[in-house]
A and B are shown apart, each in its own frame.
Chain A
Amino acid sequence: MGMSSGGGGGGLQSEINVTPMVDIMLVLLIIFMVVTPFLQQGITVPIPRDLRNPDEDQAINKETSVIVSVVCRPPDAPQCTPEMTEYYLGKKKVNLDDLKAQVEKSLANKKEEDKIVYVKSGVNVNYGEVVKVINAVREKGVDKIGLVADKKKGGGAAKT
């Protein structure tokens, strides 16, 4: 605008130049389109890192998947007693009894083969706490769980 009014022998141009705005909007749109499927479900947990052989599963980040997180408070405690362990279903803190009821509810209208509960557990949590979660969900007819783990970057899985 400044240029045309300054230089003007021609008529004054009074249109707003929307091109840069549209550029930015398009880039933002693309960013959100790309990022949305990667937004994590549930809370942040120090899951096991740098493992070689877990299978990738995009369903973990789906909004409909059932994710039970088991964490220690405080997260960096060297020894995690059962009293320090907290359970979360999605982003909500629950105790074991509520967990049963709510897992059942969230799995109610899923197909039989999709009935999988993802367990995100911190590395320092006692295995017994994970077993408690497993015991809770198995009562609701679930026989498949997914132990969420982080795959080592660049390290190809061992072929068998």
Chain B
Amino acid sequence: MAMGSVKGGDRAVPYINVTPLIDVLLVLLIIFMVVTPLKPSRFKADIPTQRDPNEDLSKLKPNPLTLVVTISQDLQLKLNQDSMGSVNDPSALAQKLQTTFQLRKDQHAYKVGMETATNIPEDQRIEKTVFVKAPRALKYGDVVKVIDAIKGAGASPVGLQVDDLP
């Protein structure tokens, strides 16, 4: 530009060459388009720690709020004792869990030890633990589908039962 104004009788037309800029921006755009769907994700699940063989299990009291989702070999679901559809259509289970959690929220059914922990948000204090029990011969994919539905209903944490599986 400076050159033009010194030399020129003709009027200089100053313009910025944007082509390389656009080149680079397009490449960046494509990179991000390719990379974005690759975000890794996972289900967090709790597993029981190794049992102490000398521990006296008779002293443990069962928690009345415990929710156990059982998957049977023929892909039927059970929530505690009630039948809840099948693996391929877990909407009944999700619905039931959601209403259960809502009910607990209304009744202030807190987790053990969190009854007075008012510094923690109300939502996290409600007992929403769900255990999953599935037979060993089942396909992993089916189990994950059920965990997906349970997680979608708002359960947290999700626990996997690993002892005494059929």
Contacts and interface: CB of A to CB of B under 8 A. Distances in A.
A145 B31 CA distance: 31
B137 A127 contact: yes
A104 interface: no
Given A38-B38, A52-B152, A126-B136, A146 B144 contact: no
Contacts of B147: 147
A60 interface: yes
Interface residues of B, number: 45
Contacts of B27: 27, 31
Interface stretch (A1-9, A89-97, A134-142): A134-142
Contacts of A61: 40
Contacts of A60: 40-42
A157 interface: yes
Nearest to B159: A143
Interface in A12-46: 23, 26-27, 30-31, 34-35, 38, 40
A58 B38 CA distance: 10
Contacts, number: 150
B65 interface: no
B153 interface: yes
Given A52-B152, A123-B144, A139-B50, A35 B138 contact: no
Interface bracket on A: 35 or more
B15 interface: no
Interface in A105-142: 116, 118, 121-131, 134-135, 137-139, 141-142
Contacts of B28: 30, 34
B47 A121 contact: no
A157 B151 CA distance: 10
Contact of B41 (A56, A70, A126, A145): A56
Contacts of A26: 24
B141 A134 contact: no
Contacts of B44: 55, 116, 144-147
Given A48-B145, A131-B165, 4 more contacts: A60-B40, A124-B141, A149-B43, A149-B144
21 contacts: A23-B20, A23-B23, A23-B24, A30-B31, A34-B35, A38-B35, A53-B43, A55-B43, A60-B42, A123-B144, A124-B141, A127-B136, A127-B139, A127-B142, A134-B162, A138-B48, A141-B50, A144-B47, A147-B43, A150-B41, A157-B152
Interface of A: 23, 26-27, 30-31, 34-35, 38, 40, 48, 51-58, 60-61, 70, 116, 118, 121-131, 134-135, 137-139, 141-151, 153, 157-158, 160
